[in-house]
């Protein structure tokens, strides 16, 4: 069966060259109407000319991908509808997600993705840098990992309308990869070895890949999913300390009995809490985890989790810089610490004003040893060697604030992994936590008994251990925790399937090999770096199965 896209209209952003061009040509060759979006008018027109000369239908749109209205108007004016959106250049939107209401989003999906006709496909483009981090790409990693969280949210929201969202992390020759990869490698990373997969998962009769993540390149395709350790449960009393976390660290990071959850709602929070309440008192490590002589900055520390962090660090001997936009809140926490015999000072400003916060630490205590970015991302411009304008420019295309909470938090994971790579040679460790606790934010969606049960106090011990000198190796890691339960979460990649690199495979080939692509058997791996992830694709360069068959004949 040949997969035809006749009657479908496909919008491809960033389609003037590379992957975008290849997507456009493939969809057009299979009957689709194509909107070729690119800021380079000449490049976009060249792609349209190639399509029309071959008998296909396509139009040019030269609007910025941030101007969704203009892009969509081109499609509606020329073809009357849209059913497939390939976000190759970033997020297509008519306004920043942080300013978009649910109603406005609903209007876009209803009109532009044929919600009434119960069909729509969205492909978002992440990258290996987003999944694993990359040196010098903190902003890019944050943006691309944010797309993973965003896509999973889209998949949940669109399910009842048959609007499906898939995210891919492709490796292909492009203007960007040409600057970092040798020609002989690029020759094996043709966009033609990515596009057929995208076409397969966009087709009405294609495999259901909604909400899922795939790495694609050089003919190799594999699915990537979250793998969660069983974790450890702690008694939620005064014995739940960073020293207790240290004592059970091997349990927290044990993946011998992993879980594979599709959403955070599958975590048995109440069951974990009950186990924690009935557990015996927690054993303590020796020597205990302490912060004597160390200075700790905690952002958003005027209340909630930040306040608990600040009080814990002070109790363990640290000097604490209490940052918050609320002067009353910050001073109140400092007063608590000082009355208990500790040392603390305030930094009244936004968490993004890193220079002011660091200055408060240096002026009062002479140094900084630990940063807990509780209120968001605290960044020092000099540390990433980029201006705020450069940071904003990348995020304007790829992330730009948050439409859904998952997007921002996933972005933090990508950012943290790049920070971990960059900080390694300076003995600077960076980790990310995904806590569930009763705070001002969760009070709006949780029943009061849950807010009371899942105290912020149960989050602080892990943070304390991770930021201590006792943790000498764990960096770039993700931990989930709530109510006395702590687990580590990491990527697991299927063994995947490698098509022969002698010629591009087809969408039909993808359908035929779907089981091999997505099965998580003994061949599954756990990449932790971009280079590890790419290696399996590089190995596929030598996959010349078809040539071998011809030689025998």
What residues act catalytically? 140, 144, 405
What's the per-residue H, E or C state across 486-510?
A: EEEEEEEECCCEECCCCCCCCHHHH
The sign of the torsion formed by the CA atoms of 173, 176, 178, 181 equals negative
The Cα 504–Cα 514 span in angstroms is 16
Going by C-beta distance under 8 Å and a sequence separation of 6 or more, which residues neighbour residue 166?
121, 122, 123, 124, 151, 155, 201, 209, 210, 211, 212, 214
Give the side-chain half-sphere CA count within 13 A for 302. 18
Residues 6+ apart with CB under 8 A from 46: 16
**Cα end-to-end span (Å), the chain:** 27
Torsion, CA 502, CA 508, CA 511, CA 514, rounded to 10: 0
Residue 281 in contact with residue 354, Cβ under 8 Å? no
The DSSP call for residue 281 is: P
Q: What is the CA radius of gyration of the chain?
A: 25
Tokens of 38: 């690119």
Nearest CA to 374 out of 448, 308, 293 is that of 308
Mapping DSSP to helix (H, G, I), strand (E, B) and coil, where does residue 170 land? strand
- Alpha-carbon distance of 267 to 227, in angstroms, equals 13
Q: What is the largest CA-CA distance in the chain?
A: 87
Q: What is the rounded distance in angstroms from the CA atom of residue 292 to the CA atom of residue 311?
A: 14
Of 173, 85, 166, 193, the residue nearest 509 (C-alpha) = 193
How far is it, in rounded angstroms, from Cα 115 to Cα 119?
6
**Placement of tokens 């490590």 in the chain:** 285
**Half-sphere exposure at residue 394, Cβ-oriented, CA atoms within 13 angstroms:** 16
Q: Are strands 485-493 and 295-298 parallel, antiparallel or unpaired?
A: unpaired
The H or E element that residue 372 is part of is strand 370-372
């Amino acid at each position: 069966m040949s997969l035809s896209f006749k009657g479908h209209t496909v919008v491809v952003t960033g389609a003037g060259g590379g992957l975008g061009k290849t997507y456009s040509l493939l969809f057009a060759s299979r009957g689709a109407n194509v909107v070729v979006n690119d800021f380079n008018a000449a490049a976009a027109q060249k792609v349209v000319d190639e399509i029309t000369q071959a008998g296909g239908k396509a139009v040019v749109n030269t609007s910025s991908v941030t101007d969704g209205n203009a892009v969509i108007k081109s499609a509606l004016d020329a073809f009357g509808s849209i059913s497939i959106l390939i976000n190759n250049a970033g997020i297509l939107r008519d306004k920043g997600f942080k300013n978009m209401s649910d109603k406005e989003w609903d209007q876009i999906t209803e009109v532009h993705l044929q919600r009434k006709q119960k069909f729509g496909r969205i492909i978002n483009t992440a990258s290996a840098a987003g999944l694993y981090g990359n040196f010098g790409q903190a902003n890019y990693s944050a943006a691309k990992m944010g797309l993973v969280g965003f896509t999973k949210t889209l998949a949940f929201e669109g399910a009842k309308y048959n609007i499906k969202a898939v995210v891919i992390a492709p490796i292909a020759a492009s203007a960007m990869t040409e600057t970092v990869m040798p020609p002989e490698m690029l020759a094996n990373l043709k966009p033609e070895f990515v596009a057929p997969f995208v076409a397969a998962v966009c087709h009405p009769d294609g495999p259901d890949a909604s909400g899922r993540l795939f790495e694609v390149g050089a003919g190799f395709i594999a699915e990537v999913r979250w793998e969660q350790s069983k974790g450890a449960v702690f008694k939620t009393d005064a014995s739940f300390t960073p020293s207790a976390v240290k004592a059970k660290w091997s349990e927290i990071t044990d993946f011998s009995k992993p879980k594979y959850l599709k959403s955070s709602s599958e975590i048995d929070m109440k069951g974990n809490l009950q186990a924690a309440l009935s557990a015996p008192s927690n054993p303590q490590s020796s020597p205990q985890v302490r912060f004597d002589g160390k200075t700790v900055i905690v952002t958003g520390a005027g209340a909630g989790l930040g306040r608990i962090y600040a009080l814990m660090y002070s109790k363990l001997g640290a000097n604490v810089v209490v940052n918050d936009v609320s002067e009353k809140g910050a001073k109140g926490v400092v007063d608590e610490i000082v009355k208990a015999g500790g040392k603390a000072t305030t930094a009244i400003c936004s968490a993004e004003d890193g220079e002011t916060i660091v200055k408060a630490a240096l002026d009062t205590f002479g140094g900084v040893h630990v940063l807990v970015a509780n209120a968001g991302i605290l960044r020092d411009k000099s540390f990433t060697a980029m201006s705020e304008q450069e940071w904003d420019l990348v995020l304007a295309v790829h992330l730009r604030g948050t439409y859904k909470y998952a997007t921002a938090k996933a972005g933090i994971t990508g950012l943290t992994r790049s920070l971990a790579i960059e900080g390694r040679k300076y003995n600077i460790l960076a980790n990310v936590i995904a806590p569930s606790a009763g705070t001002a934010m969760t009070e709006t969606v949780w029943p009061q008994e849950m807010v009371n049960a899942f105290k912020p106090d149960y989050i602080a011990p892990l943070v304390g251990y991770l930021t201590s000198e006792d943790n000498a190796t764990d960096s770039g890691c993700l931990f989930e925790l709530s109510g006395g339960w702590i687990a580590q979460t990491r990527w697991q990649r299927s063994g995947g399937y490698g098509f022969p690199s002698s010629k591009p495979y087809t969408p039909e080939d993808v359908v035929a090999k779907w089981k091999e692509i997505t099965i998580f058997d003994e061949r599954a791996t756990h990449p932790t770096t971009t280079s590890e992830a790419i290696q399996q694709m590089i190995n596929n360069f030598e996959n010349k199965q078809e040539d071998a068959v011809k030689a025998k004949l």
